[in-house]
Amino acid sequence: MALQAVTSVLTVVIALFALFSWRKQEQLKTKLAFKNAIADYANQLKKIASHHQRSTVEQNTKLEELFNACHHALLVTEGLLNDNKEVMEAWAVINNQVTQYMVSGGDPESIEKMNNACDKILKEKFVFNKSIFSLCK
């Protein structure tokens, strides 16, 4: 009888650990998806900036699609990044400058500001934190 109780408790503990691990894995996936979307967006910005001319309609369409992918990826994180001031401030710059860029028809200053903001996000360690305590959140 006691062996059954111990086995049952042990099974519950293992199940809870598995659920916790799965949840953390899903959180990591959503953060990584956002970071990958930002990397794709930054890559497109760099392509546009390297041409040293106004962007084409095709480039703007691609940029808009990639921005929408970034926005979607951020929404999927469900606020996991809200406490990361650097990431959220950089995202605010991108969010504000994308409108400026589209309205101005390809303002090089907006591209530079968005590139800098993307670089800040990409340099920030928010997917795989070094701290063991980050696993407990």
Provide the pLDDT for residue 133.
47
Provide the pLDDT for residue 132.
42
Please indicate, yes or no, if residue 22 is contained in any of the structural domains: no
Contact 36, 70 (CB under 8 A): no
3-state secondary structure of 42: helix
Question: N- to C-terminal Cα distance for the chain?
Answer: 37
CB atoms within 10 A of CB 18: 10
Contact 37, 70 (CB under 8 A): yes
Both structure tokens of 70:
């970034």
Provide the pLDDT for residue 59.
83
Residue 87 belongs to what domain range? 27-136
Provide the pLDDT for residue 52.
60
Please indicate, yes or no, if residue 14 is contained in any of the structural domains: no
Query: What sections of 53-84 are H helices per DSSP?
Result: 57-76
Q: What is the mean pLDDT of the chain?
A: 86
Contact 94, 115 (CB under 8 A): no
3-state secondary structure of 79: coil
Please indicate, yes or no, if residue 50 is contained in any of the structural domains: yes
Q: Given phi > 0 = left and psi -120 to 50 = alpha, else beta, which region is 34?
A: alpha
Residue ranges of the chain with per-residue pLDDT less than 50:
132-135
What's the total number of domains in the chain? 1
Please indicate, yes or no, if residue 8 is contained in any of the structural domains: no
Provide the pLDDT for residue 135.
47
Distance CA 112, CA 109 (A): 5
Please indicate, yes or no, if residue 11 is contained in any of the structural domains: no
Please indicate, yes or no, if residue 87 is contained in any of the structural domains: yes
Provide the pLDDT for residue 128.
78
Provide the pLDDT for residue 57.
81
CA atoms within 13 A on the CB side of 45: 26
pLDDT tens digits, one per residue of 93-113: 999 999 888 887 777 888 999
Judged on CB neighbours under 10 Å (0-12, 13-18, 19+), 57 is: exposed
